[in-house]
Amino acid sequence: MTVLLTLSTIAGILLGLRFKALVLCPVIIVAAIAMAGIGTVTGSSLGAIILHMCLVIVALQMGYVGGCILRHPLPLTERSHYQRSAPLGY
């Protein structure tokens, strides 16, 4: 399960670096179907399957937010819009 959560987080980071938030909808649907299939094949209970689906979805979303933060980092220093290095016209 740890491997699936790690892969989901990495996939979310990669999606966050490249795409907008709408891409999460089909990815979450595919991940939920995959987790349902894996849980069914391994003979897990319905509660365990739902828990794993939720964990993978949360990992995808957290990775996506992390990827967005990496794509648009905050500036280290705050600079006022009114500061200029030289007056205009010179």
> Is the Cβ–Cβ distance between 16 and 68 less than 8 Å?
yes
Q: What is the pLDDT of residues 14-47, one digit of tens each?
A: 999 999 989 999 999 999 999 999 999 999 999 9
Q: What range defines the domain where residue 61 resides?
A: 9-71
Is 85 contained in some domain?
no
**Reported confidence tier of residue 90, pLDDT bands at 50, 70, 90:** low
Is 1 contained in some domain?
no
pLDDT of 52 above 70? yes
Is 89 contained in some domain?
no
Per DSSP, the residues of 15-38 read HHHHS-GGGHHHHHHHHHHHHHHH
The number of distinct structural domains making up the chain is 1
